[in-house]
Amino acid sequence: MLGLNYNEYNGFHPHSSYSLGFGWISILAFMIPLVGLPGLAQSRFYNPLPFPPSGNVVDTLSDQDIPTGLGSFARDYQVALQKGEQVSIELTSTRFDTILTLLTPDGSTFAENDDGPNGSTNSLLLTRIHESGSYIIRVQAFGRSPGGSFTLTLTKLRSI
């Protein structure tokens, strides 16, 4: 070991034309495809459904939707909302206790409701939008529920 500096002892020879070695090439070749994975994962695994222009969805929540980690599932719908709009979002189901969440363009919770004002297990949100953008309306079952059929309605309210 006498006469060798640290780099030469560990296999690095500064005057060598192969100082990076084939190991580095293999690692780089493996990592290059990984750079695109977040976009691929997002498009392949998380695709919120577009909310229809009619403002009404009749659908089914099932164990094929987004697992919540709480024993239930969620389904997301993407909708464009404009600053200043007042909206009513209603979620009804006779098959499960509903939770309705409105997520902002950055993914934070803007508004949420479990049970509507009439004491039922349906959900209702009345809110004014503070920022234009692409929002997510999340339909979720409360507790350990397999889900079932539901109706989701978005109404843009007008001032009188």
CATH code: domain of residue 94: 2.60.120.380
Percent of the chain with pLDDT over 70: 71
* pLDDT: which is higher, 99 or 7: 99
User: Do 124 and 92 fall within a single domain?
Assistant: yes
Query: pLDDT confidence of 44, banded at 50, 70, 90?
Result: low
Reported pTM = 0.71
User: Do 22 and 63 fall within a single domain?
Assistant: no
- Among 29-38, 57-66, 111-120, the range scoring the smallest mean pLDDT is 29-38
Residue 1 lies in a domain: no
User: Do 54 and 109 fall within a single domain?
Assistant: yes
pLDDT of 115 reads: 84
User: Do 148 and 98 fall within a single domain?
Assistant: yes
Structure tokens at 86: 């007042």
pLDDT of 10 reads: 46
User: Do 132 and 90 fall within a single domain?
Assistant: yes
Structure tokens at 122: 């349906």
Give me the mean pLDDT over the 112-141 stretch.
Answer: 92
Q: 55 lies in which domain range? A: 48-157
* pLDDT: which is higher, 121 or 46: 121
* pLDDT: which is higher, 144 or 133: 133
Among residues 93, 134, 142, 84, the alpha carbon closest in space to that of 113 is found at 142
* pLDDT: which is higher, 49 or 30: 49
Q: How many folded domains does the chain comprise? A: 2
Q: Please, which residues have CB within 8 angstroms of residue 73's CB and are 6 or more apart in sequence?
A: 61, 62, 63, 64, 65, 66, 67, 140, 141, 146, 147
Contact criterion met (CB below 8 Å) for 128 and 107? no
User: Do 117 and 132 fall within a single domain?
Assistant: yes
Helix (H, G, I), strand (E, B) or coil at 98: strand
